[in-house]
């Protein structure tokens, strides 16, 4: 069947059209995405602004047209941290549904971590053993670990790259004390629940997913995306440690010229790098392997599992 997966993230709205059936890897057929920066469209009270709601509604309407044009039998719409944490979340989604007819569900942070873990498990298989999985999004960091398809532990931390950029980089460059404060904040947030994962011992495989980790791996020398998803890509802790002091000295325009970094996300590179560094340090990891599958694929795989049990057309 052909599915449309509508992912409303903190940075980007992304419709991924896939051809999928049970027992096979989902095959991407078309991609439609647009920068939304919802994490940066929050007012002082934590509500998504009218500008953000308008941008979101416009994108969802365009995604619906694309899904229909591409012959999708079903469109699965979900929103993550920026909408989940907004004080007007229900009003935002009700407005979008009224304007577009599309019902978007909100994933909890734990579900984000769980579904991302499922995607990583299916990509690497059982031979990967016990997995530790990390995903830096725009609004949050997801962490999960386990030996099965469902993780033993899964949680979310409010350390997304866009969130940190908005909270800590307000125009004036950070001085040394500011950098130390940001670093302390990141590490204390991660360390608070680190025991959930550390209690089980070292993982057999430590994995990272999504754009921030892919960009950092590329900056550190990993193969470009054009080489295909089957090429192994690693983010080494020692190389990232060496690189961070250099990243701290660069302007946004200079960061945008680095390999794997887009202009729209250049301002998120430094906070993302500090989160990645903290994850590897606190969990004692020498490197993270980049997985090309992440949350969207997890949503697809779970839906296919449901169809195989219930039959087509049933939820």
CA–CA gap between residue 273 and residue 136 (Å, rounded): 10
Give all strands (DSSP E) within 36-72, no chain letters: none
- Span 98-122, average pLDDT: 97
Percent of the chain with pLDDT over 70: 98
| pLDDT at 310 > cutoff 70 | no
Which residue do the tokens 């560094």 mark? 277
Domains parsed from the chain with CATH numbers: 2-106 (3.30.420.40), 109-295 (3.30.420.150)
Interhelix angle 176-192/269-282, rounded to 10 degrees, is 50
Higher-confidence position of 310 and 136: 136
| pLDDT at 314 > cutoff 60 | no
Residues 129 and 147 sit within 8 Å (Cβ to Cβ): yes
Which of the 8 DSSP states describes residue 262? -
> What per-residue confidence (pLDDT) applies to 312?
52
In the beta sheet, which residues pair with residue 291? 209
- Concatenating the DSSP letter of every residue in 91-155 gives HHHHHHHHHH----EE--HHHHHHHHHHHHHHHH-GGG-SEEEEEE-SS-EEEEEESSSS-SEEE
Within 8 A by CB and 6+ apart from 276, the residues are 134, 136, 208, 212, 213, 216, 235, 240, 288
> What per-residue confidence (pLDDT) applies to 308?
76
| pLDDT at 107 > cutoff 60 | yes
For 200, the token pair is 């089980």
- Span 21-38, average pLDDT: 91
CA–CA gap between residue 178 and residue 88 (Å, rounded): 31
Phi, psi of 23 (to 5 degrees): 90, 0
> What per-residue confidence (pLDDT) applies to 191?
98
| pLDDT at 210 > cutoff 80 | yes
CA–CA gap between residue 32 and residue 49 (Å, rounded): 24
Percent of the chain with pLDDT over 90: 87
For 159, the token pair is 């350390």
> What per-residue confidence (pLDDT) applies to 10?
87
pLDDT band, very low/low/confident/very high, at 173 (cuts 50, 70, 90) = confident
> What per-residue confidence (pLDDT) applies to 37?
86
């Amino acid at each position: 069947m052909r599915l449309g997966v509508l992912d409303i993230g903190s940075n980007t709205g992304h419709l991924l059209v896939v051809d999928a059936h049970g027992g096979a890897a989902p095959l991407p057929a078309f991609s439609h995405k647009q920068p939304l920066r919802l994490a940066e469209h929050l007012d002082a009270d934590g509500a998504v602004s009218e500008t953000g709601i308008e941008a979101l509604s416009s994108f969802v309407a365009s995604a619906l047209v694309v899904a229909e044009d591409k012959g999708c039998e079903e469109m699965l719409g979900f929103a993550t941290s920026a909408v989940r944490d907004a004080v007007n979340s229900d009003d935002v989604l009700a407005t979008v549904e009224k304007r577009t007819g599309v019902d978007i569900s909100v994933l909890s942070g734990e579900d984000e971590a769980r579904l991302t873990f499922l995607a990583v498990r299916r990509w690497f298989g059982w031979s990967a053993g016990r997995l530790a999985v990390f995903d830096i999004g725009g609004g949050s960091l997801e962490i999960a670990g386990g030996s099965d398809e469902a993780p033993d532990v899964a949680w979310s931390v409010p350390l997304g790259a866009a969130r940190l950029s908005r909270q800590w980089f307000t125009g004036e460059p950070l001085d040394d004390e500011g950098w130390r404060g940001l670093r302390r904040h990141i590490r204390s947030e991660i360390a608070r629940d680190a025991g959930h994962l550390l209690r089980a011992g070292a993982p057999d495989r430590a994995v990272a997913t999504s754009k921030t980790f892919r960009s950092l791996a590329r900056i550190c020398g990993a193969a470009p995306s054009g080489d295909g998803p089957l090429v192994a890509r690693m983010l080494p802790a020692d190389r990232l440690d060496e690189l961070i002091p250099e990243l701290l000295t660069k302007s946004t325009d200079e960061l945008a010229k680095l390999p794997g970094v887009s202009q729209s996300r250049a301002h998120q590179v430094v906070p993302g790098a500090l989160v990645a560094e903290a994850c590897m340090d606190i969990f004692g990891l020498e490197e993270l392997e980049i997985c090309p599958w992440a949350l969207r694929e997890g949503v697809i795989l779970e839906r296919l599992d449901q169809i195989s049990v219930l039959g087509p057309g049933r939820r």
